[in-house]
Amino acid sequence: MPDAAQQSRQNTRRSLVASESILAEEIIARPELPPSGVTTRRQLAITYSGAFEFQVGRSASWVDPTRLLFVEPDQGFVDHHIVPGVGHRSVILSPDESVLDELCANSAAAFSDRLRACPLNVQMFVQLLRRSTDDLASEELGLAILVAGLGEPRRVSIDDPACVRKAKALLHDGDEPRRTLTDIANAVGVTAIHLTQAFKRSEGQPLYRYQTQLRLGRALAELPESDDITDLALDLGYSSHSHFTAAFRAALGMTPSAYRGSTRP
């Protein structure tokens, strides 16, 4: 068996739900160990931390917490960690075909869109699932994520322009939480107008909303273990506790402290 040091250098995988209706696993992929393989069944992947490119054949699609990844069976894939030092953490749902048949008239068509936008409530369900200790609640959360994902109508671009990918990579750099549009445009080598238009076409939303979703997704992941909400708010790039609370409540319908309380026993 590998020792503790060897295990710490490996990707990890743990089961969250194992029932007749759905399997759910959490994958933690280290930056230097991007996963690869062949899929065996239809899967829905929700990344809650980090970013990667999911490559099938010659097509490589950006995946991060703002996007849902729908995977068909029997696909050879390679993940690429393209943000330096950043791997990814994802929850992978593998529903039984009978569940898919009940939820949608054509399950193959439902998974034909490789990417769709990821609602923040799905990210919240993922964090609750990761921390659930009750088998029944875990299975219900897994199915709730699947239903929300299949019902999400917003599609995003499979092939982003280079300037959009570079801009998103910069926004995943937590060392600079308050970049301006001009800063980002200059860094990726285009004008602010060009970047704004390209980003909106690719993501279906302006760049500032993308950044807000990244911040709130990170908040959902870190709040349950955070003792000081003000410190987290400042670390995320918000000017104050109240500014963070207003943004969180507007997006999710509850305060950060209420959400944190719901994730703790």
> What is the distance between the alpha carbons of residues 62 and 48, in angstroms, rounded to a whole number?
14
Q: Which residue has the tokens 């990579």?
A: 169
Query: Do residues 41 and 94 lie in contact, with contact meaning Cβ atoms separated by under 8 Å?
Result: yes
Pairing state between β 43-50 and 67-71: antiparallel
- The predicted structure's pLDDT at residue 182: 93
Compute the 3-state secondary structure of the chain and give helix, strand, coil in percent, each to the nearest 5.
45, 20, 35
Pairing state between β 22-29 and 88-95: antiparallel
Helix, strand or coil, per DSSP, at residue 98:
helix
Residue at 47: amino acid letter: T
State phi, psi for 130 to the nearest 5 degrees.
-60, -30
Q: Which two tokens stand for residue 228?
A: 């000081």
Per-residue pLDDT reduced to its tens digit, 152-208? 988 898 889 999 999 999 998 766 667 889 999 999 999 999 999 999 999 999 999
Confidence of residue 32 (pLDDT cuts 50, 70, 90): very high
Per-residue pLDDT reduced to its tens digit, 173-184? 766 667 889 999
Query: Do residues 187 and 166 lie in contact, with contact meaning Cβ atoms separated by under 8 Å?
Result: yes
Query: Do residues 131 and 175 lie in contact, with contact meaning Cβ atoms separated by under 8 Å?
Result: no
- The predicted structure's pLDDT at residue 111: 83
Q: Which two tokens stand for residue 94?
A: 């593998």
- Nearest C-alpha neighbor of 2 from the set 88, 16, 11: 11
Confidence of residue 2 (pLDDT cuts 50, 70, 90): low
Angle at which helix 207-222 crosses helix 192-203, to 10 degrees, equals: 60
- Nearest C-alpha neighbor of 143 from the set 26, 44, 5: 44
- The predicted structure's pLDDT at residue 38: 95
Distance separating the N- and C-terminal Cα atoms of the chain = 34
Please give the domain boundaries of the chain with CATH numbers for all domains.
4-150 (2.60.120.10), 162-262 (1.10.10.60)
